[in-house]
Structure 1
């Protein structure tokens, strides 16, 4: 029997990779809620039963088997029909699949055709590509079920339409980045030519270095947005669809505002940190609170993500620490409502000096002694983590990570870094934005010259160019792989550009040992940008 009216529930949920039982329970609860709201069909994101991206975990036969059993369990239970993502092994091939469940059984399965293998994606490593898919027929409706990348590649939706698809329901694990809204609109701009309504269901939540924004939406056959779910939050949203004159139209749905700009950056960092801490079972975080802007902004993100009672700030002064820094760290902690302790590290630094005095005899102090200070602080934080359980939150920004202005086994210690993909100039922008929502960072932290305070009267600009210059050069070298000569043509000193390029390459070994951090921009260090540590190439100069 063909129906001309549908109530479709979009289940924008936050799975945990590998928690098949927990993800199944999430699906059950959402299905029950959808039933209470009168839904005929509830749609879950890509690979929901296992979580996305599963990486090599999905290659374990026991994982696929657990997902198959969970799928069959869900299919046998009462409730609205279900569209859900799961791995599926068939004839010796492993697929990223979408299943339609109804009337107590698995009604249909379709396989992902286009496997992304660029930037943060490497699905060809673990999955086999499926054939060009045909629609499924459910209640007399021909439904196309493209999976994520399938709708970015024109051949799949055109093939589905050619086989009579009258409605597309696309399940997704589409990670967020600053440009994602523009990227999605550009990729789907052909939808007006395809002229078939699209329901786009995306997961939400943090998974290691990725964060998923949800922001699920629906378009009518003319490409107009008719439904939008809130970004960076779980949600279950009901939409009413009717068929008239041979076309499906959305007659009732919510339209949430799009989260953009610095608000989106903050939401991404907050969600990524919260999920990393909670999904891995940490009670909270501990971080070094130096009185500088990087630790202040990291603490602010943590307090927003976890709640102030789960954030522990530790000021670790040495003889070079200024009174302003002591006061600023204490004031920032007070404004955030987080625990603040002071641990004097000068005795430990002095002990290292005495221990090494013999072998260092005749040598002037240099960065070695500076790094010892940083490493002492790293030991203190790790000791607190070991003794009391909170994860150490690293506080270095992308500018420092790029040029190696950070100390291995010192300020690079930690389990996670929310600023790993945030340039220093962007740190300042985020601090000002966050203060507009409510003062949490003292103004002096934002306005004073940045300093590691590892020697008398030190500032970052003793070793680096002004951050506005450094970040402009790094944006060219990292984000767009622009040739150094081209960057120099924009008004930068060619020798400086060459020096920054050299520092960028030489610091690769440090970045390999850095903690993970959430992807924010177009190309993060890690999944996006994978350079060899041993690398003698430097761009030729005119």
Structure 2
């Protein structure tokens, strides 16, 4: 009777850290090797994912080859299956190697190379064309890498080889509803093949991508046997015996909390970006508004209160409510909190700029200058302390340019850059469900930049409910102006919002990176030209 014990290593690997990634693999091998027949690591684990143009470097491939040899030599008690790039005769493949006692027993090359959204694999890799089956202790394992499973053909090739189960290693980035998408695809593949699937995903953040783990095990009937935790590193034992598959301690959950998934992904993104890039901590401007309040909560949860510095920078238009709520949240979280008024420096700027401005009337220039005073303060603090400034703008604001270059856009990382405004409020309520953190007044009050007397966002923007829906249709789904208007939105709002989106591409190109959460973010997902007359031509045609 065939029996096999596999360890799924859902771990966090760092791009380019070949030595450290290899050390993590070897550590796991020492801890788990005697207890398992096979240990499995994710796609491109040795280099981290995605290595991007590091793959053009010959010295990287030499380091990868050395790492593969080192892992293979250490794999004496069990087999190691690991992902890495593999150069062969001037061509480069996304590979999966089966290593044991100093030998490579088998090597599989990924057949389907994604080249859409955030993926550029065809820029680097050559597709493989041959399926591979690894047999160990009487169990025949069909090998797949990530995108292979999203297409039926690679698995159909494996079925001709009489496999017992499918093993897929992955680096699948998180976005809203991604768990349901993956599960749906896996159920479809099981329905086609009638074989269990072990789906191991990477867990960690890399720039704007978050790999959420959430690895899955399905039986031959398509039932979810086990799922590993979301955004947490772990190892799990999967047992295959007499055509039955089990995974103790990681039972499947029928209900998924989407807000928890989003929030935990943002926490992981901040933690990995700050720690992997060697910053001592973070600083941010705490305004008393909803965006900075949510950002502060995320930062504190990610790094601990001792590594977070909140700075309130009031001006004459800052309300007492904002001052009180900012201080209350900082005290609740236990972060360092300082108040630095910006009026003296603003006045000095205006004194020096007065002769240049002449008789020009007050306009948004003075509002932007307030924001830029705050940006200067935060960046100086970053330089002096080695902390990373977190920008606090959300996706709705970034879409329409409701942010000041070199002001509130200052920062090295933008945790909620891909979070629409309404989702910001939902996440704030969710975070409070884990323990009071954000003052309820911050959630309840009308949003305002407080750059002018009695200012609220609705003075210059449509209602956020309409704004977010228009942006989702235009930015994420590529709907035309006429189609969005036909969906029931006011023509004036639609044309104004889309004009603002197109005009402010130049701002977004200069903004800090931030984690992708929606189906299409402002980053790798959406690559629009800055200089473009496409919208002008459509307007002339009445569209």
- The verdict on a shared fold, with TM-score over 0.5 as the criterion, is yes
Q: Given the two structures, how large is their TM-score scaled by the length of structure 2?
A: 0.96
1:333 is aligned to 330
DSSP 3-state at the match of 1:373: helix
DSSP 3-state at the match of 1:503: helix
State the Cα distance separating 1:186 from its structure 2 match.
Answer: 2.9
1:135 is aligned to 133
2:399 is aligned to 402
1:249 is aligned to 244
1:208 is aligned to 207
Answer yes or no: is the 8 Å Cα contact 1:316–1:343 preserved in 2: yes
State the Cα distance separating 1:254 from its structure 2 match.
Answer: 3.0
Residue 106 (structure 1) aligned to one of 85, 88, 104? 104
DSSP 3-state at the match of 1:178: coil
Q: Residue deviations 1:246-299, cap 9 Å, x none?
A: xx2214533345553101010000001100001101111000011111000000
1:412 is aligned to 409
1:358 is aligned to 355
Answer yes or no: is the 8 Å Cα contact 1:135–1:164 preserved in 2: no
Residue 285 (structure 2) aligned to one of 288, 291, 308? 288
State the Cα distance separating 1:79 from its structure 2 match.
Answer: 2.8
Q: Does 1:489 align with 2:489?
A: no
The whole-number CA distance in structure 1 between the counterparts of 2:199 and 2:170 is 7
Q: Equivalent residues in 2 for 1:438-517 (5 A)?
A: 438-517=435-514
Q: Given the two structures, how large is their TM-score scaled by the length of structure 1?
A: 0.96
DSSP 3-state at the match of 1:358: helix
Answer yes or no: is the 8 Å Cα contact 1:207–1:272 preserved in 2: yes
The whole-number CA distance in structure 2 between the counterparts of 1:42 and 1:366 is 63
Answer yes or no: is the 8 Å Cα contact 1:479–1:523 preserved in 2: yes
State the Cα distance separating 1:490 from its structure 2 match.
Answer: 2.6
The whole-number CA distance in structure 2 between the counterparts of 1:251 and 1:406 is 51
CA shift in 2, pair 1:321/1:252, >3 Å: closer
State the Cα distance separating 1:227 from its structure 2 match.
Answer: 2.3
The whole-number CA distance in structure 1 between the counterparts of 2:355 and 2:111 is 66
The whole-number CA distance in structure 2 between the counterparts of 1:479 and 1:402 is 11
The whole-number CA distance in structure 2 between the counterparts of 1:415 and 1:58 is 25
1:264 is aligned to 261
2:154 is aligned to 156
2:94 is aligned to 96
DSSP 3-state at the match of 1:300: helix
State the Cα distance separating 1:137 from its structure 2 match.
Answer: 3.2
DSSP 3-state at the match of 2:229: coil
DSSP 3-state at the match of 2:86: strand
The whole-number CA distance in structure 2 between the counterparts of 1:119 and 1:134 is 28
The whole-number CA distance in structure 2 between the counterparts of 1:255 and 1:329 is 40
DSSP 3-state at the match of 1:108: strand
The whole-number CA distance in structure 2 between the counterparts of 1:24 and 1:262 is 34
Q: Does 1:321 align with 2:318?
A: yes
The whole-number CA distance in structure 2 between the counterparts of 1:489 and 1:59 is 48
State the Cα distance separating 1:132 from its structure 2 match.
Answer: 2.8
Residue 17 (structure 1) aligned to one of 9, 15, 18? 15
State the Cα distance separating 1:234 from its structure 2 match.
Answer: 0.4
Q: Does 1:7 align with 2:5?
A: yes
- Higher mean C-alpha deviation, range 80-89 or range 218-227: 218-227
Q: Residue deviations 1:58-91, cap 9 Å, x none?
A: 2211111111101111111133111000110011
The whole-number CA distance in structure 2 between the counterparts of 1:470 and 1:256 is 40
1:277 is aligned to 274
Residue 186 (structure 1) aligned to one of 184, 187, 193? 184
The whole-number CA distance in structure 1 between the counterparts of 2:337 and 2:252 is 37
Answer yes or no: is the 8 Å Cα contact 2:226–2:252 preserved in 1: no
1:238 is aligned to 237
The whole-number CA distance in structure 2 between the counterparts of 1:192 and 1:450 is 49
Q: Does 1:43 align with 2:40?
A: yes
Q: Does 1:374 align with 2:341?
A: no
CA shift in 2, pair 1:94/1:300, >3 Å: same
Answer yes or no: is the 8 Å Cα contact 1:9–1:39 preserved in 2: yes
DSSP 3-state at the match of 1:146: strand
State the Cα distance separating 1:467 from its structure 2 match.
Answer: 1.1
- Higher mean C-alpha deviation, range 457-466 or range 284-293: 457-466
1:390 is aligned to 387
The whole-number CA distance in structure 2 between the counterparts of 1:256 and 1:176 is 21
DSSP 3-state at the match of 1:236: strand
CA shift in 2, pair 1:330/1:7, >3 Å: same
Structure 2 gaps, min length 5: none
Answer yes or no: is the 8 Å Cα contact 2:3–2:137 preserved in 1: no
The whole-number CA distance in structure 2 between the counterparts of 1:320 and 1:206 is 38
State the Cα distance separating 1:489 from its structure 2 match.
Answer: 2.1
The whole-number CA distance in structure 2 between the counterparts of 1:88 and 1:46 is 12
The whole-number CA distance in structure 2 between the counterparts of 1:236 and 1:153 is 27
1:219 is aligned to 218
Answer yes or no: is the 8 Å Cα contact 2:139–2:164 preserved in 1: yes
The whole-number CA distance in structure 1 between the counterparts of 2:37 and 2:387 is 44
2:524 is aligned to 527
